[in-house]
Each structure stands twice: as structure tokens, then as C-alpha cells.
Amino acid sequence: MINRTLDNRYTILEHIGGGGMADVFRAHDKLLDRSVAVKVLRPQFTNDEEFVTRFRREAQAAARLSHPNIVNMYDVGRDEETDYIVMEYISGETLKEKIQTDGSLTVELAIRIALEIAEALEHAHQNNLIHCDIKPHNILVTRSGRIKVTDFGIARAVTSATMTHTGTIIGSVHYFSPEQAKGSAIGAKSDIYSLGVVLYEMLTGSVPFTGENPVSIALKHLQEDPKPLRDVNPAIPPIVEAVVLKAMAKEPEARFDNITEMIADLKLAQNYLRDDQTRRLSREDFPTQVLPRVTVSDKDSGNQEQLPEEQKNPERGKSRKWLWGLLALLLLGFALGAFLAYGKFWSSSEINVPNVVGKQVEVAKNILAGQNLRVSISETFNDKVPAGQVVSQYPEAGSTVKEQRTITLFVSKGGEVTVVPDLRGLNRRDAELQIKNAGLQLGHVEEQYADIPIDTVVSQNPRPPAQVNKNTTIDLVISKGNGPRKLVMPDFRGSPLSTVNTQLDSLKLKLGTVTELASDKYPPGTITGQNPAPATETTEGTTVDLTVAKGSSGAAKRAVVQIAVPEGSSKQAVQIVVTDSNGRRVVYENVHKPGDKVEKTIEGVGQVRVQVYINGILLQEQTI
């Protein structure tokens, strides 16, 4: 998916998360020039037309939600075989990450977060949308501390379709409700239960039920009560504990009638925490949804203790029967898995597993079948082993197993191939990110002048959309911006050498080699030729070589230059430059203080010009 553009608008940049049903990517919305989050449905769910229809319908319903505590849905679409939802991109952390970092949260903070989640759920329930997967992983905390609930729409569509077709229990086992564990109908009260679990985790730093596997955790949701909050942290007020216990009641009828009632009690708990006097009120004086007044009818309930358990709670008896059936199915599945994984465990025949690594898969299968062993094939990318050959095996060669044991062969599919992304026009940072996301490596980077912004990719090798093995290097050419200004070379021929330097400086050209040649056409010291030639197109900074007419006498000329360093800074740079038939050169350069006397004998051939500079400024000039 990386570097792919959905519907010619959303360019996928990087993977930022995902779950069992979808992957989430950061993308760039080319139309509105902003970052968005794109949730892409996994390929295994795209072939069921009824599922896709429900997915799109529920996603569109979620897109109609508008609440400050709900991640905004921007768009829903399908590009070829890919179904996707475009959402608001949130920069921050999940509530799960916050709990893992901070441990248990303060009671005040936990109540505030629970309130914001509940208000988001209230808005969703009023729009007939059930979340079905409330958990800290789906709660985003922005950098400013605002709570944003995400994953609306997909959870509802997933539950509807999969419960109809496969009977699969959907949800996160640590947070789903007892009715979800049983595969029963799910409603708004399932979200209330999950929110109670999230509040429990915020207050204690851990989930209420743990186990060795998902089945054991699901059974605890059905059978066990969570450890009392005040046993974990005695500082938690009773009213807060009561809110959590009512939300987490096993039977939906025993929970809050709706999320609005839970919000009311969360606000009462919040006010209770803010008012020390309110904390001292008795239970009789502080009735709420979860702390009603004690009445005579409540006392009569003690007679229930004399009834058998199943008469007191007939639903619990039904649950136990269902649990025994579930356990029987699990045992049957275990026996079948053991037969496939370990062979005939009642057989006394044992076999030494042969070594088939490096063999063609068909040859390996025949060898193992000849030893009365089963074969399972698992393909894997490997750029060092030719396609169709066995990379490794499990159990390993030399192991002793029962007959009919399944031997898993990992067979090479060759090097993994990827498409080279088009990096032209991207800035260097984004180009390197796309190279990394495509499983490729950054190769040689060259810089050159180009008429595009600095640090932008001019070209690349290999070019898109070539298909290459992963880890292939991609070479880039990066813009250095606009190059030196172009100009047409002037014609210096016929001009005295002494007059050319000023013109060269103004054009930002450099004086190169000056060569003297005898000439009958030009007087001594006159330019007779040049390179580059006149009218040639060139650029600033080019070096110009000149040919000068040679004088009748080639004897060297000498002169003494005397300089008095003027008043000014304590350190002044003095430079003497000589220009003659041999070219331009610096003959003296030093630092002096004001009042110093500098005397230098210079010599030159032909027409000799002497220039004295103080701190880069021309002080005097003479010709000898």
C-alpha cells in the first residue's frame, strides 16, 4: 500500500497502526493539501459482497457523526479492490500508551476521560451506531489532552457480517461484554460494559480479568467478579467504585439503562471529588443511579439466600450449560490439533526426520511421504534461496517424531519484489521515507543545479515503475537550485589589458592565463585573442584566458612601492596586486597596524599595473 494513491487523491505515506480487520496509514490529501489517516479494509474481507455493503453503509453512518470527542470521518470509498475510510489525523498517543507510561491515573483524570468517552458514545447511540470495541487502544489523547474516540463504523460492520456468516466472536477479549463472549446480540449496553472496563483499568493500571489464553479470560467475564477497586486503591471513593461495578454488571439489565444515565453519575462523582463536604455525606443522603436508598424491600432480599443457585439466577444456570458445551468443543479441537501436529501419539512407531533443506519442494514432499510423514507448506520470500527450494523445516532434521506427524516446510518464493516509487518532485526527506517504506535502500545521492526548488528530487535510478527486489538501492539526483547566471561572452580583442579587469569583475568572470605573443597588428599590451571566444554562451564564474600583443622589449620592469597604513582598525590587511603580460597576481599580503610603513620592490613585463588594497578597498593604483 505504501506510495499508492487511492482514487488519485490520497497518497499513502506510512503505516501507523492496525488491527484484525483493517490497517491504518498516514496519507496526504492532494486535493486539500493536508495529512489524513486512511483505514484500509484487509483483503480477506473484500470478497464478501454483503460484508462490503454493510461496511460501506456503517462507515457512511459514522461519517455523519460530528462531535468534539469523535475522530472526524472525511470520506469513504473503494479503489479497485480496496475499501477505505478517510479520517482526521490525530498527533498524540493512545490511552493505552498513556496507561502503560503513567500506570494508574488519578481519580479526577480517569473520571474526566471516562466522561469524554461517554459523551462521544452518547452522540453515537443517539445516531443508532454502536461502537462494539471500546478499549484504550481506540481512544486517542491529543497533545492538548482532548479525548478522541476512533474506530466507529468498522466495528459495527464487522460484528454484523461475521456473526452472520462465521459465528466468530468479535471484539477485544479483555474489554468485551459477557454477551459478546457468548456471541449474543449486542447493543448500547455492551459499550457501557466496555467503558466500565476501561475506567477500571485507568483507576488501577491493569485490566480486571487476565488469563493464559482468550478462552479463560472470556470465562472470567461470564463467571467472575473483578477484584474490588478499593482493595487495589483504598483512596478510590465508594461512589466511583459503584459506577464501575454497575457499568460492569454481568447481565445487561443490571447496568445503566443508557449511557446518559452513566454520564449523570460520572458527573455526580466528579462533583463529589471537588467538594470535601459532599464526601462526608452518608449513603442515605446521597442517592444516585448506583447508590439508591436502602428500603424495606431491599432487606427482604435476604430470603433469596435459602433458594438454590439456579432458582435465584436461572440465567446463570443456562450460562453454565453453555460453558460446558464450549469446553467440550475446545477439547475436541485440541485432540484434532494434537493429531495433526504430533502424529499418532498412540503409535509406537517413531521416525527420524530426514533433512530436505535445499531440495525442490516436490522432491522434499516425496521424501517425507515415503517416511509416512505429513507435509505442510508455508511460502516465504528469500533472496538467497532460489524459488521452489526448501529454506528450512520444522521439526528440524534428525528429530524423532511419531508417524503421520506434520512436517512444516518453509519454501522460498525468491526475492520479494516491489515497485519503485516515483520520487521526482518530492523533497529529500519524503523521498527517503518512501524508499524505506517500499523496502528499498537509499543509494548514491548527487547534487546538481536545476530549475526546481532546492533539495527536491530531479531524477532517480532505477526509474518508476520498475519492479526490483527489496533492498535494491535507489540513486537520487537532488536539486541545488538555480545554477549560475548565463551570459554571452564579450569581445575583449583590441582592448588594453589594463582596462579588462574592471569589466571582468562586473560580469563576475575570472582572469585566467595571460599569454604574450608578437603581433604586427596590435600595439604592445593589447588583447589579441581570448578563450572562451566572443559571443559564446557561458556562466558566471568562468575563467577567461587572454592573449596579449608582446612589446618590443621583453626586459623586466622594476619599481618600489611605498605604503603608509592609514588610521583605522588596529589590524588592517594590506595587499599589493600586479597585472602585467604574465597575468594578474598578488605579490604582497600581510596585516599591519595604523602608521606602519610598507616598502615593496615589484617587477613585471610589458605594461605593468600595480594596485594597493587596504582591507579589500583599492587605496592606490599606478602603471610602470
The pLDDT-based confidence of 373 (bands split at 50, 70, 90) is very high
Do 200 and 161 form a contact (C-beta atoms < 8 A)? no
Calculate mean pLDDT across residues 295-319: 45
Domains in the chain, number: 6
535 and 443 in a common domain: no
As beta bridge partners, residue 378 has: 410
Mean of the per-residue pLDDT values for the chain? 82
76 and 39 in a common domain: yes
pLDDT tens track for 170-186? 457 899 899 888 877 78
Calculate mean pLDDT across residues 542-570: 84
The pLDDT-based confidence of 286 (bands split at 50, 70, 90) is very low
Residue 144 lies in a domain: yes
Read off the amino acid at residue 73. M
The pLDDT-based confidence of 329 (bands split at 50, 70, 90) is low
Task: Give the pLDDT of residue 313.
Answer: 52
The length of the chain is 624
Residue 416 has pLDDT above 80, yes or no: no
245 and 149 in a common domain: yes
Residue 450 lies in a domain: yes
Do 54 and 160 form a contact (C-beta atoms < 8 A)? yes
Pairing of strands 441-448, 473-479: parallel
Residue 16 lies in a domain: yes
Residue 320 lies in a domain: no
41 and 159 in a common domain: no
Q: What is the model's pTM? A: 0.46
Using omega within 30 degrees of 0 as the cis cutoff, is the peptide bond preceding 462 cis?
yes
Q: At what angle do helices 188-204 and 259-274 cross, to 10 degrees?
A: 30
116 and 217 in a common domain: yes
Task: Give the pLDDT of residue 254.
Answer: 93
Do 42 and 22 form a contact (C-beta atoms < 8 A)? yes
Q: Of 99, 102, 100, whose CA–CA distance to 202 is shortest?
A: 99
Pairing of strands 543-549, 510-517: parallel
Task: Give the pLDDT of residue 332.
Answer: 57
Residue 459 lies in a domain: yes
CATH no. for residue 516?
3.30.10.20
Residue 447 lies in a domain: yes
How far is 38 from 24, CA to CA, in rounded Å? 6
Residue 314 lies in a domain: no
Residue 444 has pLDDT above 90, yes or no: yes
Calculate mean pLDDT across residues 35-54: 79
Domain-terminating residue out of 382, 412, 442: 412
Cell of 169: 466472536
Cell of 92: 498524540
Task: Note the helical H segments in 389-545.
Answer: 428-437, 500-506
Domain-terminating residue out of 429, 453, 479: 479
Q: Of 547, 597, 557, whose CA–CA distance to 574 is shortest?
A: 597
Q: Which domain holds residue 517?
A: 486-549
DSSP 424-455: TTSBHHHHHHHHHHTT-EEEEEEEE--SS-TT
Higher pLDDT, 158 or 354: 354
Task: Give the pLDDT of residue 304.
Answer: 43
How far is 51 from 41, CA to CA, in rounded Å? 11
285 and 162 in a common domain: yes
Calculate mean pLDDT across residues 462-488: 87
227 and 111 in a common domain: yes
How far is 470 from 440, CA to CA, in rounded Å? 5
Residue 157 has pLDDT above 60, yes or no: no
Residue 318 lies in a domain: no
Please say if 133 is a catalytic residue. Answer: yes
H or E element at residue 298: helix 296-300
Residue 244 has pLDDT above 50, yes or no: yes
Calculate mean pLDDT across residues 268-285: 62
Burial class (CB in 10 A: 0-12, 13-18, 19+), 203: buried
How far is 328 from 479, CA to CA, in rounded Å? 69
174 and 105 in a common domain: yes
Contacts of 206 (CB under 8 A, 6+ apart): none
Task: Give the pLDDT of residue 139.
Answer: 93
The pLDDT-based confidence of 549 (bands split at 50, 70, 90) is confident
Residue 307 has pLDDT above 60, yes or no: no
Q: Catalytic one among 75, 83, 133, 191?
A: 133
Backbone angles phi, psi at 94, to 5 degrees: -85, 160
Read off the amino acid at residue 420. V
172 and 148 in a common domain: yes
Calculate mean pLDDT across residues 516-521: 77
Calculate mean pLDDT across residues 294-318: 45
Domain-terminating residue out of 549, 573, 601: 549
Q: Which of 26-35, 61-70, 92-101, 373-382 has the lowest mean pLDDT?
A: 61-70
How far is 45 from 55, CA to CA, in rounded Å? 10
Residue 335 has pLDDT above 70, yes or no: no
Residue 318 has pLDDT above 60, yes or no: no
Task: Give the pLDDT of residue 52.
Answer: 73
Task: Give the pLDDT of residue 308.
Answer: 47
141 and 106 in a common domain: yes
The pLDDT-based confidence of 277 (bands split at 50, 70, 90) is very low
468 and 507 in a common domain: no
How far is 440 from 432, CA to CA, in rounded Å? 9
CATH no. for residue 129?
1.10.510.10
Rounded to the nearest 10°, the torsion over CA 195, 200, 205, 207 is -80
Residue 102 has pLDDT above 70, yes or no: yes
How far is 346 from 439, CA to CA, in rounded Å? 48
How far is 375 from 314, CA to CA, in rounded Å? 49
CATH no. for residue 28?
3.30.200.20
Do 149 and 138 form a contact (C-beta atoms < 8 A)? yes
How far is 418 from 67, CA to CA, in rounded Å? 41
Cell of 74: 472525511
The pLDDT-based confidence of 283 (bands split at 50, 70, 90) is very low
DSSP 307-332: S-HHHH-HHHHHHHHHHHHHHHHHHH
205 and 136 in a common domain: yes
